[in-house]
Structure 1
Amino acid sequence: MKFATDKDFMQSLQTLTIKGGKFGRAAAQVIGVLRLSQRKTELAEVFAGLVTTNHGESRIQHCTKYDLQGSCRLITVQHDGICLLLFAGDHEGCDEWLETNKGKRFHLKETQDGRIIQSTRVTESVANAASRLQTVSDFSTGALWEKLPLRYFETMTVGLAPELVAELKAISSIVSDEELVPLACQAPTSGQSDLLYDVFDLLRGGFVQEAKARVDRFEGSVVPLENASPAALETAVSGDEVMLVEDVDPVLFEHFVKTASYEKWMMYLHPSQRGFANKDFNGPTKLTGVSGSGKTSVLIHRAIRLARLYPNEKVLVLTLNRALSRMIHDLVSLALGDGTPLNLEVKSFWELCREKLAGIEPHNHLLYTDKTVATNPFAVSEYIDDIWAEYYEQRNNNRDAKVLAPLHRTLLVRSIYPCDYIRQEFDYLRSALAPSEREQYLALEREGRAIPLEERYRRCVIDGLVAWERKMTDVGAVDYLGLTTALYKHLEKLEPSYRCILVDEMQDFGSVELKIVRNLVRPDVNDIFLSGDPAQSVLTKYHRLSDAGIDVVGRSHSILKNYRNSREILNAASELFKRNKDMFASAPGIEILDPEFANFSSSPPLLLTAPSLKDEVLFALGHLHAKHNDSVNHSFKSCIAVCGLAQSELEDLSRQISLDVLNGDTNVVAGKVFLSDLEQTKGFEFDSMIILNCAAAAIPHPHLPAEESYRELCKLYVAMTRAKRELIISYSREASAFLGKVVDLFTIGEWHDYADAREQKTLRIRSGRFSAEPVLQNSELDGEAVLMCPEAVGLSSAAQEKLTQLVAGNNRYRGNKQIGWKTFDSFFESLRKSPALHTTNFVSRAMWDEYVGLHGRLALRSVEPKPATGRRILTLKR
């Protein structure tokens, strides 16, 4: 006799346990049954001491109920060869569950993962109202039949009149039985009538998987459990709905029934993925999967198994994001408690580098701490941003970045903002090559970088990077790629110190980081396990596994089923990729996986507008305040992500509105509402996700190559797919071009029609990609300082050269004629008032027109956008 648990069983047992008292004692009886079922094979032995209820149960075929303490019940379905544990609860809870699951039947289905057990609900006779299924509408939009793959709809409508098929196609989630029953009864046979009713009833409740299973059962492509042979049952494996008790980890289970609910989907929702956790691989292995497919869950289960398999050797779970590292650590601790293997470590790459460097360079221990990093120990902090600005803009008499001037000027001509592009190029170079290898950069094929760079400009990058690293050393700070570089210098000293390393979000690791990973674990069975999603590549890095000595040929796998997002949210996110696929032409090796939708629906995502980013923030806060107050789910979590803000601005905003920023210090398991940029949301999930400032001025970056904007599209996709049931995207003035092709998948409106703004007397925030306060006011800018401003993007070489000659920071005269100016403002005003100076200073008409545009752009840099008026929905560009 095999024993298995249905998808509702664990949750019901946890609920019973938490209620305590007599209910807790009843739960203990059920736990005893589960323990025995893992060791015994006979019904009498497993249910010893329990008696069946006096009354039978007709709502579910082959159902047997057992009496528990405190008037509680254990509901099972028993066939020859298998017993399914379905639900445990008090009398009222059990009755409600049985009514909801009336007509539930199980069958065996052949899949690529093996023979799994599925269920669906079946009406005995559509003509009998008492026997009909009664699901509650999920109020999703669109025609119900479109939720099914076409082959399923064609199977269920074979032989029907075209007029009836047309009427069936018009059915939506608000269809009533008074409308549905007469349509179903027009089918030529009672069996097909029952089928039509059941499928559309299940679809209006959002139960797409059950609806498909109902069609499978009708066409005979599955085997009802009551008809399954003992041999077939013996080969059954765990699936999404039914898990064999032999696959239930007893330690995880004991803690699961006693813990809060946030971590439960991470640890229990994906039994069908257990094969990836339990299989031994003869070398490095790569698991890719769509967002929400349970990749991190697989990785956690696998890490726990390997730590137990190799109890005398260390197993490491490694992430790039410190907040994600902490969350995984907390999940393991909450799930296992005192049962956590002592040899299992969870670290961010930052922490790993610091730990190794502390042993190799103990004299530099102060450099490799995060004390100098103001608020975010991940070093993507306001302090690093400030150091970068000081270095790049050559403030405080530091002229090291002067070596970048030729590259800076050619990028301006190409309409690229050099400050951001060159910083990205530094990261790209550091992720590709160690300092001793950087001469190879001169000939490196820069995959994913759209702007070609001649050798002389690449030399500028190498020299500028050396100066930037020296600058950070001088001020006693380091970013995480700086740590990577520092550790890589000692690569030959890094001996294998781990039996297994499991890397989450592997697509964000560059080749240099992966070389370090390769050195820390010796080649062996189960040595390296890489998990990630190429579609979530958000960092400008050189990523090539072969360059790191990691060979996954023949050991690459994919999982496509999404469990996290509602059908509507995932569809919007997936279509965002598909309809903007032209942006991926230059993306190196990014494969967009086509997801299988989760088995639930929600309202369509919202696309809302407000007069300014400040208003967006206040409306979002008001909405979430009401949402959390109304929620009966105490584990309800939400996040506000903001596009286009520097980390320093995000930190400043967090202090003003009293929200935690997602970083290495964030306790996601304990917290409720968080603030983040787009990329730091990766790896998390939230009941409600609000993305602000999704405006044309903020995303994509207006002055970086359009060919590389796919990374920002990936960031937006990442943030969208964090939402389980509610997604709101918000903008002011003009929406991002990314959204123009998917507006049909959103409900469009204005914030004030959906929420009340939170009252806050002062809130200082500026929208737009370049929103930080300038160090120098316009009236103080000389020619060199002007060229550092984003407003100078697009200026011709001649205009740049003339500007630096004429506006060199001091007033100069030849006789009574001025030939040099201290500031751009005074230069512009002089030439405006005296056109004769154009000829004297060799300023052509075309050049003057460039300066007029530049002056106008600079004049707008500190002006807040004027609030929009009226109730008009702002136009989206397509």
Structure 2
Amino acid sequence: MKFAHWKDLFGSLQDLMQKGGKFGKAAAQVSGILKLAQRKNTVSEVFFGIPTTNHGESRIQHCIKYDLQGACRLITVQHNDVCFLMFAGTHDDCTDWLERNKGIRFHLNTIDGRGVFEATRVSDDVSDASKRLTTIPDFSAGKLWEKLPARYFDKLCVGLSEELVVKLKMLTSIVEDDVLLELAIEADGSGDIDHLYDTFNLLRGGSVQEAKARIDLHNGDVTPLDVIQKDTIDKVSSGDEVVMNDDVDAVLFDHFLKTASFQKWMLYLHPSQREFVKRDFNGPARLTGVSGSGKTSVLIHRAVRLAREFPQERILVLTLNRALAKMIKDLTETSMGDDAPKNLVVQSFWELCQEKLLEFEPENGQIYWDKTIKTNKFAIEEHIDEIWSEYYECKNNNITAKVLEPLHRTLINRNIFPSDYIRQEFDYLRSALGPLERKNYIRLEREGRSVPLEERYRSNVIDGLASWESKMTNVGAIDYLGLATALYKHITKIKPIFRCVLVDEMQDFGCVELKIIRALVATGKNDIFLCGDLAQSVLTKYHKLSESGIDIVGRSHSIRKNYRNSREILAAAFELFIQNKKLFSSASAIEILNPEYANFSSSPPLLLMAEDFTSELSYAIDYLHSLLRDENGASRKFCIAICGYNQREIELIAKNLSLNVLTGDTDVVAGQIFVSDLEQTKGFEFDSMIILNCSNSVIPSPALPVEESYREICKLYVAMTRAKTELIVSYSVNASSFIMEISTKFTQGAWDTYASKAPMPKFVFAKSRFIDDSDKELLNMTAHAILYLPEAVGLTTAAQEKLLQTVTGTTRFQNGRQTEWKTFSFFYDGIRRMPTIRNYNGISEGVWNELQNLFTKLDNSEKSLAATIRNSTLSSPKRPILKLKNNV
């Protein structure tokens, strides 16, 4: 007798274990049965001492139920030398499960050359209501037939009249059983009316995979369990729905029963994933996969396998994101407990660099952090984003960034916001070349960077990067790529201390990091295993494996089946790529895989509008509060991702809301609600995902090159595909053009029909930037300060020059006429009142028009800021919302 598990078994056992007491003992009984089934091969041996129930079961053919402790039941299907363990639970839970799965039948299908068991529900007799399949509508949008691949619908329609086919194409998820029955009866010429009724009933309930299997069963493309030969059964592999008992890791399974539901994915492997856990490679290998395909799960299982295979050597799992590394480490330890291999190391690349730098530079180790170190109780801990702003804008008597002024001003003239673009260029350079190799940047082909930079501007970048690194050293902090650069200086000292290195989210590693990884492991069998999705490339880096000493030729593979997202969510996210293919022409290295959709549906994503960003946030908080009040809310996880803000600003927002923020140190397993930017969400998953500030003025950024906006598509795709069953995209005024191009995939509406405004603490937002000082007056700045504002983007060189000559921060007259002004406001008002001064100062009509437009933009920003200040503090609430601080 072969033993196998139906896909519902693991979850049902975990539910029993979480209840504890007698229910936990029932789950332990089944665990014992599964272990025994790996050593014994008869039903009498495996179920010894466990009685069958007193009553038979007619809802499922060949069903046998067993009595467990605590008045629980174990449901099995036993037929033709196979025993399927289906579900375990209380009497009521088992009754509900049997009703939902009435008519289930197994068959053998051949997938990629392997025989796997699948199942579908089948009506015994559609003319008898008690023997007829029925499902609960999933209320998904669209026509039911469109859920099927065209080849399946064609098979379904063989022998049907054109008139009937037209009627079938009109069916939606709200079709009633009687209507389906009438249409099935019309198909009497096909010789079998049951399969037509069953197929559309299954589609109505969102069970697309079962519907396809029902068509295959009718057409003889799969083999019913009844007629499968024994020698064939012996060769059956685990599949997506049925796992053969021999493929279950007993150690992992024991710990699985005791872990939280968030960690379920750690245990179960689908066949397309299992292949890459067990497979050996004669050198570095790469596994790419669509979002939600379980790449991280593959990586962890493979790492555990290799750690057991090489118990005397160290195996490294490496990821860029510190929070993701922590989660992987926690999940591995929780899932395996004391049985976790002691030679398995899980680190972020940041932690690895710190560790090695302490080895090579013990005297400097304390400075390698992304915040300044507090030297005394009066010292201020500065975030790296604050340090960048101080450096780049030449604040506090810091003038080293002046070397970047020529590049800064030409980028303004090209309609590009220089601060962001130059910081990205620093990252691109450091990810491509080590400190001693930077002269090669002058001739480097900047793949994926659309703004051409001639040699003098590239020299500016090299010099500016050197001054930025010096600034970080002086203040005692470092950014991520600065850390990698510091370690790369010691590349020749790095020894191959690991037997195997497995890298998650490999697309985020640049050449410098990849060369360090290459140095950590000797060349050989299974030395480097890279996992990732090139379509999730969100960082501005130079990524070329061929230049990093990592040769994957002949060892690059992909998996396309998505298991995380509902069909509706993934379809909306993938449509981003379909509608913007042309934007990826400058990023030839990015490969976009066509996904295979998961076998479940949800409501379409929501596209909701509010009057401003503060309102969006207020509504989102109230909406999540309502989900928390749900009785099942305690086990769910939620995320608010915000477009257009940097990491420091996100952290300030989260702090004001008393919410968790996704950073390098976040404990995702322990928390429930998180605030994040778009890219930090990568690697995680949430039951509900809300993306705020997805407005046309924010994304794509109007101050960055259109040709490079593909990265923002990737970021938006990443955030959207974190949602398992619920996705809300929010905007104010006008939605992002990215979203409007795919708006048919959303249900559109206004926030006030879904939530109320939660009270908000007083903090101020302006456009896509955070303003700490609410008294900051944009119009009362000097030219130097104004040229660092987003509003200055687009000014011609002539307008910049004239602004710098006249708005100097001092008042100066020549021959009785004013030539310099303290602030832009004074300058604008003086020229407007006395136009002759304009001519005296050589301000052409074209330049004056530009400066008038600049005044309007700054004035509007100030008014918007003032309105936001007024609206950011709501009236005293009737109840606290998510423990908000500083409610007024």
TM normalised by structure 1 equals 0.95
Aligned amino acid, residue 771 of structure 2: A
Q: AA paired with 2:150?
A: L
Q: Distance in 2 between matches of 1:816 and 1:713?
A: 56
Counterparts of residues 666-815 of structure 1 (less than 5 Å): 666-760=666-760, 762-772=761-771, 777-815=777-815
Give, as a single letter, the amino acid of the residue that structure 1 aligns with 2:198.
D
How far, CA to CA, are the matches of 1:355 and 1:405 in structure 2? 37
Cα distance in structure 1, aligned partners of 2:90 and 2:139: 30
2: CA distance between counterparts of 1:767 and 1:47? Answer: 67
Distance 1:373 1:729, change over 3 A: farther
2 CA distance for matches of 1:838 and 1:25? Answer: 88
| Contact 2:290/2:560 (<8 A) preserved | yes
Cα displacement string for residues 5-56 of structure 1 (whole angstroms, at most 9, x for unaligned residues): 1101112222233334443333333222211111222333222233434443
| Structure 1 residue ranges (4+ consecutive) displaced by more than 4 angstroms after TM superposition | 773-776
* 2:58 pairs with 1:24: no
Task: Write the distance in 2 (CA, Å) between the matches of 1:745 and 1:371.
Answer: 42
> What residue is the counterpart of 2:85 in the other structure?
85
- Which residue of structure 1 aligns with residue 857 of structure 2? 857
Matched, 1:252 2:229: no
Counterpart position of 2:885: none
Q: Report the secondary structure of 2:262's partner residue.
A: coil
Partner deviation per Cα, 1:701-729 (whole Å, 9 max, x = no partner): 11100000010111111101011111111
The alignment-based identity, stated in percent, is 59
Preserved CA contact (<8 Å) 2:269 2:298: no
Aligned to 1:514: 514
Question: 1:113, CA displacement in angstroms?
Answer: 6.0
CA pair 589-595 structure 1, distance change in 2 beyond 3 A = same
Structure 1 residue 466 displacement after superposition? 0.2
Q: Bigger shift: 49-58 or 38-47?
A: 49-58
**Whole-angstrom CA distance in 2 between matches of 1:284 and 1:432:** 20
Change beyond 3 A, Cα 1:789–1:632: closer
Mapping for residues 61-460 of structure 1, pairs under 5 Å: 61-112=61-112, 114-188=114-188, 192-268=192-268, 270-369=270-369, 372=372, 383-460=383-460
Deviation at 1:767, TM superposition (A): 4.5
Q: C-alpha distance in 2, partners of 1:562/1:827?
A: 59
1:528 corresponds to which letter in structure 2? I
Q: 1: distance between equivalents of 2:615 and 2:302?
A: 45
1:871 aligned partner: none
Q: Secondary structure at the match of 1:119?
A: strand
Note the residue ranges of structure 2 that are not aligned, 5 or more in a row.
375-380, 869-888
Alignment of 1:478-497 (within 5 A): 478-497=478-497
Q: Is the 8 A contact 1:148 1:208 kept in 2?
A: yes
- Which deviates the most, 387-396 or 423-432? 387-396
Q: Which digits, 9 at most, give the CA deviation of each residue in 1:681-707, with x for residues without a partner?
A: 111111110000001121111110000
Partner of 2:875: none
- Partner amino acid for 2:502? L
1:156 and 1:192 in contact (8 A); partners too: no
C-alpha contact 2:764 2:772 (8 A) present in aligned 1? no
Tell whether the 8 Å contact from 1:653 to 1:765 is kept in structure 2 after alignment: no
Distance 1:826 1:18 in 2: 69
Name the residue aligned to 1:836: 836
Determine the C-alpha separation between the residues in 2 that align with 1:840 and 1:439.
46
Rounded to whole Å, the distance in 2 between the matches of 1:242 and 1:111 is: 13
Task: Tell me if the contact between 1:613 and 1:767 (Cα under 8 Å) persists in the aligned partners.
Answer: no
Q: Deviations over 1:549-587 (max 9, x none)?
A: 111111111111111111111111111221122211212
Provide the rounded CA distance (Å) in 1 between the counterparts of 2:40 and 2:116.
Answer: 22
The question of whether the paired residues in 2 share the 8 Å contact of 1:612 and 1:767 is answered with no
1:628 matched residue in structure 2: 628
Q: 1:777 to 1:42 in 2, by over 3 A?
A: same
C-alpha spacing 1:806/1:767, structure 2 compared with 1 (3 Å): closer
Distance 1:838 1:163 in 2: 78
Q: What is aligned with 2:474?
A: 474
- The C-alpha deviation readout for 1:176-218, integer Å capped at 9, x for no partner, is 1121111111112585310111111111111111111111111
Counterpart of 1:752 in 2: which secondary structure? helix
- The amino acid of 2:122's aligned partner reads V
**Secondary structure of the equivalent of 1:192?**
coil
Aligned to 2:873: none
Q: Which amino acid aligns with 2:843?
A: V
Q: Is the 8 A contact 2:159 2:189 kept in 1?
A: no
Residue 39 (structure 1) aligned with residue 39 (structure 2): yes
Instruction: Give the Cα separation in 2 of the matches to 1:299 and 1:596.
Output: 20
Following superposition, the deviation at residue 236 of structure 1 comes to 1.2
For structure 1, which segment, 44-53 or 472-481, has the greater mean C-alpha deviation from structure 2 after superposition? 44-53
2:863 aligned counterpart, secondary structure: coil
CA distance in 2, matches of 1:399, 1:778: 22
Compare 795-804 and 48-57 and name the one that shifted more. 48-57
- The one-character-per-residue Cα deviations of 1:812-865 (angstroms, maximum 9, x if unpaired) are 333323333333333322222222222222211111111111122222232227
Question: Which residue is 2:886 aligned to?
Answer: none
Match of 2:666, SS state, is: coil
Alpha-carbon distance between aligned partners in 1 of 2:432 and 2:21, rounded to the nearest angstrom: 60
User: 3-state SS of the aligned residue for 2:166?
Assistant: helix
Contact 1:358 1:364 survives alignment (8 Å) = yes
- Determine if contact 1:693/1:767 at 8 Å carries over to the other structure: no
Gaps of 5+ in 1: 375-380, 868-878
Looking at structure 1, the residues matched to 86 and 382 of structure 2 have their Cα atoms a distance apart, in angstroms, of: 52
Aligned-residue CA RMSD in angstroms?
Answer: 1.8
Residue matched to 2:883: none
1:875 corresponding residue in structure 2: none
Give 2:185's aligned amino acid. C
- 8 Å contact 2:318–2:502 — kept in the other structure? yes
Distance in 2 (CA, whole Å) between partners of 1:666 and 1:156 is 50
* Corresponding residue of 2:499: 499
Question: Is the 1:699–1:769 Cα contact (8 Å) retained in structure 2?
Answer: no
Paired residues, what number? 860
Query: Residue 450 of structure 2: SS of its match in structure 1?
Result: coil
State how far apart, in whole Å, the 2-side matches of 1:122 and 1:792 are: 67
Can you list the C-alpha shifts for 1:790-827, whole angstroms capped at 9, x where unaligned?
A: 21211111222222223333333333233333333333
Letter in 2 for 1:707: E
Shift of 1:382: 6.4
Distance 1:621 1:325 in 2: 28
Q: How far off its partner does 1:253 sit?
A: 0.2
SS at match of 1:362: coil
The alignment partner of 2:74 has SS state of strand
| CA contact 1:693–1:732 (8 Å) conserved in 2 | yes
Q: Which amino acid counterpart does residue 533 of structure 1 have in structure 2?
A: D
Aligned equivalents of 1:370, 1:759: Cα separation in 2? 33
